[in-house]
Amino acid sequence: MADEKYDESAAIPGRWDQRKRDIGTILWIAFLAACAGTFVIFAVLDPEALNDAWVLPWEMGRRLAYSLGFLFLFMVSLVASALTVFMIRTGPPSGHARGRGKPPQPEIRSPEEENPDLDIGDLR
Amino acid sequence: MTEHVTGGSLYRKEPKIYPRQVSGRFTRLRVVAVWVLLGLFYLLPWLQIGDKQAVLFDLPARKFYLFGLTFWPQDFVYLALLLITAGLSLFFFTALAGRLWCGFACPQTVWTEVFIRLERLIEGDRQKRMKLDAAPWDAQKILRKSVKQAVWILFAAWTGFTFVGFFTPIHELGNHVLSLSMGPWETFWTIFYGFATYGNAGFLREQVCKYMCPYARFQSAMFDKDTLIISYDTERGEPRGGRRKNVDPSEAGLGDCINCTLCVQVCPTGIDIREGLQYECIACAACIDVCDQVMDKMEYPRGLIRYTTEHSLKHKQAHVIRPRIIVYGMLLLALVSGTVWSMTTRVPLRADLIRDRNALYRELPGDVVENVYTLKITNMDDAPHRYTMTVLNNDAVEVDLARPLELAAEEVAGVSVRLRIPKAAGQGVQTLDIELQASDDPSIRKVIEAKALMPMEIGKQP
């Protein structure tokens, strides 16, 4: 019943490996977040009305502003999503908090214990 | 064998780290860095140039004041350049000298250093702090802990106040605090930033570096075998073990490491550097300082733990100058000199000529065609100016301004402009080069392009 030995090299057709799952999740979640953000922002804000105060030297039509707004939000959420996955993948393994992964610390003792001649008194 | 996770041992308990105080070269260097960086942070907002705050990010007015320079939203490109420069410098210095940033300049390190110092001042050194934490809650413990919390909160509040002082004139803000009349946003951001300081430097400390910091995770990509790292010399140190001073290590079959574990005790992230390079290491060099002192006492040569490179640990030639250093260095140099050049030659005048959307053109008697524009002009200087407007590539064009171009300091104006162009200038779209110049300072000059529409006359080719 236990772990049946499985063949690492033979991927099961139709199943995604971890990297593929990560990329898919990053893209999809970032896209959803950008959509929600675009809806909310442009529901309360008319880009045409901003034309006078626009920092950029050219005037922007609504369609262009909506598209750029969406792309910008998509980029930002992509960075956030990707970094999040990166941090989780490169972080400590699960079970870390219960002591898995890193070797235990050496037992810390008084420096003089094994070194009777070492006077650490003035080692502040 | 005891489990390493739970306490029991007086000296160590996994979840909480009590860094032991250390002194030495690198500690002094960090103290200098803390004083300089925090000095800049806490004092800069108080610095006045003339009657203006020297460094002020005035968000409502959308203007940044930086030592006499005024930055407008249109100067956004400088912000982008600044960020790119900062990123590239991080690459450059990481490739060269490892995690210098983490150990000496990161706000997380710098503020944690201050919070630990305050803690040490009130609760005593490492042993005393551990005893105090283990002791029952008596009057003495309550007193010390509350004094510490009070000092921490006060310091964090001052930090929040200073932070907001970069965005609201700090003298004004100070008066608001004293008269208890701070605005809601000033209050919110003071508390928010103060709370973040308190939480990060007082409580989270090394956990931020270990679990939350992305730089810690990808700095290894900028490393190579010639990057300065802090490393324990395994070859020299092992086998480690306690000994009496008069014992000759080679005779006793020992390396130079006396296994005093002081390097572990001083580590703010609680790692054992003797295990090799670890991503938790913030390269603060506390272990170098303490180990050097122990080596001195044992009359062994210093440097059992030292700044070194992977190559020199393996007795290979170390290279300071190498391709990635040259590439990062050149890019950095180009970026910095480009930014400086562009800032020194920056003209404090901005102008755009926008065509009147309602009319193409108007034909006037005397074979003259009139085009109407709105001139959007911004005097980015901190002195008033009067400007002249001339057409450079056609002397015959008459410029008719709705009002003289007199702008107060930092004024933005929209002025209606009529350009009367003789038909002889051509047909269809004509490009005019228009010069704006301050009459009192010829160096404030800008040339902009205007498109003028001229009637097409059938049968006459342009």
Delimit the domains of chain A by residue range.
18-92
User: Cis link prior to A103 (omega < 30° from 0)?
Assistant: no
Please tell me the distance from the alpha carbon of residue A124 to that of residue A38, in angstroms, as a whole number.
58
Residues A113, B242: C-beta atoms closer than 8 Å: yes
Contact B237, B306 (CB under 8 A): no
> Which residues of chain B carry a pLDDT beneath 50?
1-13
Residue A50 token pair: 């901003």
Residue B417 sits at φ, ψ, to 5 deg, of -125, 135
**CA atoms of A104 and B17, how far apart (whole Å):** 15
Question: In Å, how far is B171's CA from the nearest CA of chain A?
Answer: 30
Confidence of residue A53 (pLDDT cuts 50, 70, 90): low
E strand or H helix at B377: strand B368-379
B298 touches chain A (CB under 8 A): yes
Cβ within 8 Å, pair B4-A123: no
pLDDT band at A56 (very low <50, low <70, confident <90, very high): low
Q: B58: distance to nearest CA of chain A, Å?
A: 16
Instruction: Quote the minimal CA–CA distance from B213 to chain A in Å.
Output: 8
Q: What is the pLDDT of residue A122?
A: 61
How many Å lie between the alpha carbon of A36 and the closest alpha carbon of chain B? 26
Chain A residues with CB-CB distance to B297 below 8 A = 118-120
Q: Where are the beta strands (DSSP E) in chain A?
A: none
Give residues 124 to 153 of B whose Cβ lies within 8 Å of A.
125
Predicted confidence at residue B173, as pLDDT, reads: 92
> DSSP letter string over B263-306?
HHHT-TT---GGG---TT-----HHHHHHHHHHHHHTPPS-SEE
Q: Give B113's contacts (C-beta < 8 A, 6+ positions apart).
A: B30, B34
The mean pLDDT of chain A is 81
CB contact under 8 A, A111 and B260: yes
Phi-psi region of B307 (alpha: psi -120 to 50; beta: other; left: phi over 0): beta
CB contact under 8 A, A110 and B11: yes
Residue B4 confidence (pLDDT): 41
* Residue range A71-111, pLDDT digits in tens: 999 999 999 999 999 999 988 877 777 777 666 666 777 77
Q: What angle do CA B445, B447, B452 make, to 5 degrees?
A: 145
**CB distance from B24 to chain A under 8 Å?**
no
Instruction: Tell me the nearest-neighbour CA distance from B174 into chain A, angstroms.
Output: 32
Q: What is the DSSP string of B315-339?
A: T----SS-HHHHHHHHHHHHHHHHH
Q: What is the pLDDT of residue B10?
A: 40
Number of alpha helices (DSSP H) and beta strands (DSSP E) in chain B? 16, 16
Count of Cβ atoms closer than 10 Å to residue B408 Cβ: 10
Two structure tokens written together for A27: 């893209």
Q: What domains are defined for chain B?
A: 25-71+106-204 (no CATH), 349-454 (2.60.40.10)
pLDDT score for B34: 93
Q: pLDDT over 90 for what percent of chain A? A: 31
Q: How many CB pairs under 8 A join A and B?
A: 86
What's the pLDDT score for residue B164?
Answer: 94
Average pLDDT over residues A35-64: 77
CA B184 to chain centre: 27
- Find the farthest-apart pair of alpha carbons in chain A and give their distance in angstroms, rounded: 81
Category of B301 on φ-ψ map: left (φ > 0), alpha (ψ -120 to 50) or beta: beta
Look up the pTM and report it.
0.79
What percent helix, strand, coil does chain B show, rounded to 5?
Answer: 45, 20, 35
Alpha carbon distance B376, B265 (integer Å): 64
Considering only the beta carbons, identify the residue of A105, A123, A124 that sits closest to B272.
Answer: A105
CB-CB: which of A90, A103, A118 is closest to B260?
A118
pLDDT single digits (tens) B373-415: 989 898 888 889 999 998 988 888 888 888 888 999 888 888 9
B23 Cβ contact list (under 8 Å, min separation 6): A124, B289, B293
B265 touches chain A (CB under 8 A): yes
